Amino acid sequence: MSIRHFLFSIAFISFLSSSDAGDLSDECVYSLYVQTGTYITAGTDSKVGVTLGDRTGKEVQVPELRRWGLMGRDHDYFEGGNLDIFSGRGPCLRPPVCRLNVTSDGSGHRPGWYCQFIEVTFTGPRKECSQSTFYVDQWLVAGDLTAILDGCGRRDVTSTPLVVRKPIYIGSAASAFQ
């Protein structure tokens, strides 16, 4: 094998490797701050997951948020008054994150949970940092284990930081969805 052929082979392998590594440039780092309410029974032992979404419909799913936990191995997540911190990688969304689905599986000794807010920050290679705060202010209990906040239809959805609150309904919640 000639030196020219050898160098060409090295260059070609490097190109292929960089193509595979290029997939990492499509990954972003997500940080979530989750505030549990301060009520005596606000904490939970249930599994909590989130799905983050952007205005194009793209999503990042985190089925078990504890796996992204940064508070230490023995930390008791989602306890009353806690501000828990999580971080992990996932595909980059189009900023800002404007949709949040937070779900509890209702398992464990204390299945009910009061989620006050979730703040989401993310960034990636050659991308600006994006921040969104979702004021959930809801009990996740048997029969109602999911909270969905969607600010993607707002005119100011491109601004950051984005703040999304639950809509206030006059009358019953059921009539608001008819």
Residue 158 — pLDDT band, cuts 50, 70, 90?
A: confident
- Percentage of the chain exceeding pLDDT 90: 65
Is 153 exposed, middle or buried, given 0-12, 13-18 or 19+ CB atoms closer than 10 A? exposed
Residue with tokens 């930081």: 161
Contact present, 101 and 164 (Cβ < 8 Å)? no
CATH number, span 25-169:
2.60.60.20
| Rounded Cα–Cα distance for residues 94 and 6 (Å) | 42
Determine the Cα–Cα distance for residues 72 and 95; give it in Å rounded to an integer.
Answer: 29
Residue 19 has pLDDT above 50, yes or no: no
Residue 2 has what pLDDT? 59
Lowest mean pLDDT across 34-43, 152-161, 163-172: 163-172
Q: How high is the pLDDT of residue 3?
A: 56
Neighbours of 79 (CB within 10 A): 15
Distances (CA, A) of 74 to 69, 77, 113, 133, 155: 11, 9, 20, 27, 43
**pLDDT confidence of residue 50:** 98
Q: Where are the domains of the chain?
A: 25-169
On whether the CB atoms of residues 77 and 58 are closer than 8 A, the answer is: no
Instruction: Give me the pLDDT at residue 24, please.
Output: 57
pTM of the model: 0.79
pLDDT score recorded for residue 29: 98
Question: Which tens digit of pLDDT belongs to each residue from 92-144?
Answer: 999 999 999 999 999 988 889 999 999 999 999 988 899 999 999 999 998 89
